[in-house]
Structure 1
Amino acid sequence: MAASNMQTMDGPCCPICLEQFNIPRQLPCTHSFCEKCLQSHITTKDVNHEKLRYVKCPVCRNSASPSIKGKPSSELASLFPVNTVLQSLLPAKAKVNRLCDACKTEGDDVPAEGFCVLCKEAMCVDCLKLHRRQKISKDHTIISKEELECNPENVMKLADGFTCLEHRGEDIKYYCQDHNSPCCDTCFFDGHKLCAKVIDLTKDLSGLVSECKPDKIIDDMNKIENHLKKFMETNDSFLNNLEPQVNRMTDQIREVRNKINTLLDELEKSVKTEEVRIYKEIVLKKQEENHQCLSLFHSVRNSHYFLDAVQKHGSSLQTFLMVEKMKSQLNSYCNLVEEKYEKTDTITVEVQFSSTLQSILSDSLSELGKVVTTTSSITLPLRCSQRPTRECKVERVDVIDLKVPTEDTPWYTGLTILPGDRVMLADYWNNQCILLSPSFQFITSHAITGKPWNLCALEDQEVAVSLYKKNEFQILSVIDDIIRPVRVIKTKYNCNGIAAAGKGDIVFNGDCGNTKSQWSLTNTRGDVKSTHFYDSTYNHNNCLAVNNMKTRVYVSMCDLNSLLCFDMKGTKLFTYSPDNLRFPNGVAVDIYDNIYVLGNSSDNIHQLSPDGSVQQVVNTGVPRYPKAICIHQSKNILIITNISEEKTKLHMFQLK
């Protein structure tokens, strides 16, 4: 009855429709999707807004913005570039004729017959003739459509010298290792000229390419693909064995029916109903698991094909840039596999009959027997050779003096980064939230009923705000730089620290009396999924954070001068409590899962590795009484507030 969904294709496939690509559009994170699939994802996720500024990648959830602004959401997918490398790897019958870029700007759809290597443009016959006649372009190298389809090296010529996503048309010429960022000339002179580790990409990169080991990353991606295939095969094998188990339950009932009639007739009806429900429930669950696994499989495979093609046919510049980009993808893939695909449940189904004759003769159906399911797990460990990790040097770089209109001197007890690099602050003294532009200029404020203590950015342009010593948190929407209240979520315990836990979930912590504190997992509707308790004399100032894969919760303990780490089931994994960490407040996690803890009374920043070992303690440049911390991912900086005489300032620390 259960049809296998282990249908993997040879060649690149779209992670959404699981079919061969049809016009693969590439997001800045390098994940690619069919144009129609990406457009459907955009429209489905944001049906209430005609114009969108940001798109979340369906795989890694990173925000992406096209270079052309102000277009309606119905055209957004077409504004992202075509992944010509993946397009070249498709079978000939799957390729889509590209249109002339020049004619398309005039509103005419004319098939392209050739491509200019220098201009990186597709051209029709007439535009090619004009291009060859122009004095400035007559010597440009032209590749015909036939040459492009037959030779991947020609595709790489068109992609040679990747262009800057922020400054359209400018070639990438530098790579800043301090910020993990490729730079054009404008990027370099505007923001990276003084950085310590900047590589000139116009020079020979063969040595750097050898050091970054693309073959090793491709090998690890092969291992992830094989692991995901094994996971799906295990699920398919389970589903094939499930059907006879379910059918055997009816046979068991028929054997007993020879001894009992009336009551067993009713029991059989009940069991048959339960059979259908359980079977459908399990099959749907396993098929959904395999569908999600297959989607990730194709994402890994596409990255594999992409990097393999760049390595074989691209320049050293392209190989180096793609390897640097793929390191974070490999880390994300490993995290996803360890989170979701290292274990799969097998379920046995059987009928349990009551043991005594009295229960058999009872008029109560529930005493006769019931369907019992037993779940066990099969561990499929991931065998990647090495997980990408990075220890970042923390160095103070700037102080921003905020010009915010307030009645009283503000006290910023919480901050978070919103889509578009906007910043939101919780102003405890003035009972309000403050919205800042990407350049940290005041945009607007919103009054809060209560004392806002902490906040976190959620999906769908929403923010959750906790209130000091109150059993509730509030949900706000931030659309078009306008803050609006959405709903208030009541909680059983105090809600002080708060953090997003993915998929519409939130974790919060607070005092619950009797020298106990708790952290709870809930959703944005207020449905509590779990609550976990730990010893604490008080917990009014404590904060928490969640790692990138939403598998760990970090809780600061001001009263015990400690940081606790739990898994999502509430099991304590480690405690960090050195002598030079006093009254820890803010907690943040970077993209490599390094942990940053603020010592409010020790005036320092403690950087820990994911396993809880200390990497460095930063004392230089840390303001007195640091309070809140967050990581600005796109700028690769720590932002810190404090409660001393500089409480109107934001203190910036570069992660190098």
Structure 2
Amino acid sequence: MAVPGKKATKQFSSSTTSMGSDEDLKLYCQPCDRDGPRLPAHGYCTNCSEHLCETCFTVHRRHTLSRHHALLDKTNMPQTLSTVTPRQPDNFTKPCPKHNIEMIKFYCHDHKALLCSVCVTLEHTVTSCNVNYIPDISGQTINGTEYQDVLKDLNDMTERSSKILQDMKKMNELSIKSLTEALTDILKFRAKINQRLDEMERQVKKAAKVIQEDNVKDLKTVETACRDVFKSVKSSSDVIKNLNTSKQANDLFMELKHAQQMIKEYEHSVSKLSEFEVKEYNFEPNEVISNLLAKEKSLGTLKGRILSPALRSRQCSQMDKIGIKTSQDRLDCWITGMTLLTPDLLIITDYNNKAIKIVDISRKSVQAQHNFDSEPYDVTTVSQNEVAVTLPFHQTIQFFSVSRNNLRKKHTLQVDGKCYGISCHKDKMVVSYLNPAKIQILLINGTVLQTIQDENIFKNPNYITTSDNCIFVSDYSLKTVTKLNWQCEVTGKYVCTASPRGLTMSDDGTVFVCIDNNTIEEISGDCSEGQIVVKDIKYPQAVYWSAETCTLYTSNRALKESNFIKLFKLSK
């Protein structure tokens, strides 16, 4: 086969005869040059990047696979072979998945499909699809852009697969660890149940013993009284009988009168003795416990949450807003803290109006309000009907009993600094302080368990949110959200684009945080990444997540808007 552009002999039957130098500049038909006589070029196909003789040029216009190619005539065709891209050899080895005996030779750009001749004839005709013969277009793939892009995508896919595998291993380790801890919790829970049942059993036995002792005491009282009656009556009876036998009328008369008087007195005593009540007892099991044991099939459930190495994309839409300014308020509200006591009751602290308020979500109104003599800052749920409020300028934490429309002050806990953020989890509270900046873990009774006071970790710790395993703290000055364990060890840190304020933890371990760039971000549980979930919310201050309704409750500091709580619905 001759190579395009190479010198050829004048006599085609002989390959040894050299051509003149003027023929070196002639262009020949490249298809014919491969396996036939060398013929002068009459035109050029831009799709095939080949020069064509007059016959090939005419056939090229008529053939099904090339009739739509762009052809240049002799005057417009390239005058040098330097622009020609070498064709790839026609060595097809991949069979068509639809027609097994046919080899793949064509490519449909419209359907991005590799085709055999039968596919082209039956389903991807040139009139309906943009089909190319693979050797005509494959030359540009060598070290081309597509080659680089596909190679990069394959490398990316390898890295992603590797990361997924590593994440899966880590999550599996966490899952196994959590199950071990869950089994320990089951044993603790069972021990608590046993302890409580033992206590209840002791109470019932103690009550039975008291009844038994009372019965014995009453019986002894009756026995003593009856013995006295028996003795007196028998003595009187014997005397009367003897006097009557001896016919001593005077003494008998007087003894009978005395006996009659004694009988009257004993009738009253005996009548009182008959008033003693003696009961027969039987044990009636506690219906609630009996029904619970009858209905419940398990000591508890293993409740899991999805461990996700990456944040999931969320859709956000504003649902509603609730006015929270009342007739008692002299200033516009500034809601600095909030907590959801039940799905319908939101408890908020109003810094400007020195108040704590109960907001009924279903009624969209404030149901109760208590005013302080200084500004409250944050609030946390302690139990199903109790909350705790920080009062920084009094350096105290005030506890409240809460019903649907009533706030009742309970005890006050004095702390050793200006307390701002607070979050309660089970029997512990985590509190943030300023001047000096520190974090404390306390028992509900005020006993300090741990203290962190380190300027490298906190300069202006603000809000706190907690879970079984971790504590998150927003720092206004450092622009960070720091993750701690319950031993006060730093296990993660997220650097925000602006100063963070209120934050709340979601049910799957991520954290929603108010940012001073008018957004609310969601941060992954390991603090490795974040994403904006709410945009264009001016000066967001406090936030609380309801897992039950997938709702974010938010407050802000913008004028007029500060008198409302906004509700945002987020997709799972």
Q: TM-score range by the shorter chain?
A: 0.3 to 0.5
Higher relative contact order (CA 8 A, sep 6+): 1
TM-score normalised by length of structure 2: 0.46
TM-score normalised by length of structure 1: 0.41
